[in-house]
Chains A and B, each alone.
Chain A
Amino acid sequence: MLLEINGLSTYYDNIAALKAVDIRVAKGQIVAIIGANGAGKSTLLKTISGLVRPRAGTIRLRDIDLCGLAPERIVAHGVTQVPEGRQIFAHLSVLDNLHLGAYLYHKRRHRSEIKTKIQTLYRMFPILQRRAQQIAGTLSGGEQQMLAIARALMGRPELLLLDEPSMGLAPLIVRDIFSVLRRLNADGTTILLVEQNARAALTIADYAYVLETGSVTLEGPAGELLDNPRVKASYLGG
């Protein structure tokens, strides 16, 4: 198991956002977390990334305990998040955003590896090459999402966390983004995906969890959840 979360509880002051959540992500899988607004999906990713401290529970990456580590330490262990709402560095160029994605490699002075990685990502996202010198804040929503994913991939994560990658994007662009995720997974990146667009998420995922008011209420292979009447009624529009 690559990521193993047991009994994870996270609070904002005295309000529980996650209540004793158990989640497992095997190496090479795409695992989806679906749920309504406010179900605790983003809190889950923030807790894994170290942006929010859990009150109880454990988060283990292989045999490393991630609980209580600073976000930058967690990135160094190979877990990178593409945050909700893209959060690219809007005032910097596209190329600078990519370089910052490889910040830890820069610190180790692996210059040629960084160049190679940028070329690989340009092949995956040709639009980013055309926009390399453009200020990132001027990109369209879809391009910003691609940049956010590319920036995360610059750090060569073993586990990629994605928070609502389809949010605010046109259906055609969502399709592009999800096909990129499928390709990344085929190339060996394990993905933990949080999505309100349950149908898109369940279509590409191997396994999925349903999160409701901070607790896992349902889990199973994604294909099975797609046919589950409760999931259909609540998340797939009947």
Chain B
Amino acid sequence: MRFRWSWLQTGIGPWPIENALMETTTFTSQLLQYLITGLTIGSIYSMVAIGFNIIYNVTEIINFAQGEFVMLGGLVMVTLHTVAGLNLLIAFPLAVGLVTLIGVLLDRLAIRPIRNPSVLTLIIATIAASILIKGAAMLIWGKNPHDLPAFSGRDPISFFGAVIQPQYLWVFGFLVLIVVILTLFFDKTIAGKAMSACADNPHAASLVGINVNRMILLSFILSAAIGATAGIIITPISLMEFDRGAMLAVKGFAAAILGGLGSFPGAVAGGLILGLIESLGAGLISSGYKDAFALLILLALLFFRPSGLLGNAQVSRIKRF
């Protein structure tokens, strides 16, 4: 069964209880439904945008394989949990770990070996890696979408006439968890500060004894782990297939630009706003234009406010990209 975006918008999907509930909806509750759905998908965009920012801040690279981490997270989890039958609590960290390993390989095999790299060369390397990962995923998992059981079942919760899937709450919860962990990491640990120092001035960072290459590797590890988490928690809602990464990368990139490239609060805000616009646009205007909204916002921002909502125009000028 192929996922249809309209299920998210209307609640009419493979879940019969929702069907019944939604028949009695008023416009207000429908609007609330769009908001909840928008925030859910927006949380995933936020996570992708955070992943973009972590790597961008340390290296100035836009890692276009970021969406592939999300796709791999979902599909590796499908294999471990549904096919191999591993318990959720074991399969989840294992899937994140395996995708993180691919993040490590991306840094070691695609980024580090390039001699005298320019930022543009490295970005092209990530695009190549993304195509490669997508191709490999198609060979392994095929072209069909795969489903995962929801973490706490699929009994919908009624909320002022709108319907909340329990999995939505997991998505919000994980976004909060990721934000809290990253805030503590960057504010309280010396490794986090060393990463910020590399983002600020890699030359000076190496002059105080920070191994910049190791920090770049750490940025790929963190981004891959966050991407994989996003993939695992969204798959029970929207299924996952081999070619989902590219569009997720575009949406996450739009969210990162919307919030201001490099800004973590911006990434969260950008992702949520983008999710809301998409959901409201698809619900109130037409779901056929769902992807167009994100691209329109991306284009408009790049034309009129390239520093984003929370970004600093001066900082974006300093960066070489």
- Taking Cβ atoms with an 8 Å cutoff, the residues of A that contact B are 49-51, 70-72, 75-76, 80-81, 83, 87-92, 96, 99-101, 103-104, 106-107, 151-152, 154-155
B200 CB contact (under 8 Å) in A50, A51, A91, A154? A91
Q: A89-B200, A90-B200, A91-B200 are in contact. Are A71 and B193 (CB under 8 A)?
A: no
Report the Cα distance A49→B205, complex, angstroms.
12
Interface 9-residue window, one of B26-34, B37-45, B208-216 = B208-216
CB distance from B56 to the nearest CB of A (A): 14
Chain A residue contacts of B194, Cβ below 8 A = 100, 103
Chain B residue contacts of A87, Cβ below 8 A = 201, 203-204, 207
B298 on the A face (CB < 8 A): no
Looking across the interface, which residue of chain B has its beta carbon closest to that of A82?
A: B207
Chain A residue contacts of B190, Cβ below 8 A = 99-100, 103, 106-107
Interface of A: prevailing SS = helix
Q: Mark B209-227, 1 if CB is under 8 A from A, else 0.
A: 1111000000000000000
Report the Cα distance A210→B193, complex, angstroms.
39
Chain A residue contacts of B196, Cβ below 8 A = 89, 91-92, 96
B206 CB contact (under 8 Å) in A71, A91, A99, A151? A71
Looking across the interface, which residue of chain A has its beta carbon closest to that of B190?
A: A106
Q: What 16 additional pairs, Cβ within 8 angstroms, besides A91-B196, A100-B194, A152-B207?
A: A51-B203, A51-B206, A70-B206, A70-B211, A72-B209, A75-B206, A80-B207, A83-B207, A87-B207, A89-B197, A92-B197, A99-B190, A100-B190, A100-B193, A107-B190, A154-B208
Chain B residue contacts of A152, Cβ below 8 A = 207-208
Chain B residue contacts of A99, Cβ below 8 A = 190, 193
Report the Cα distance A101→B193, complex, angstroms.
11
Looking across the interface, which residue of chain B has its beta carbon closest to that of A114?
A: B190
Can you give 7 contacting A-B residue pairs, CB < 8 Å?
Answer: A72-B206, A75-B209, A83-B204, A89-B201, A92-B193, A92-B200, A103-B190
8 nearest CB pairs, A to B: A75-B209, A71-B206, A87-B204, A106-B190, A89-B200, A104-B209, A72-B209, A103-B209
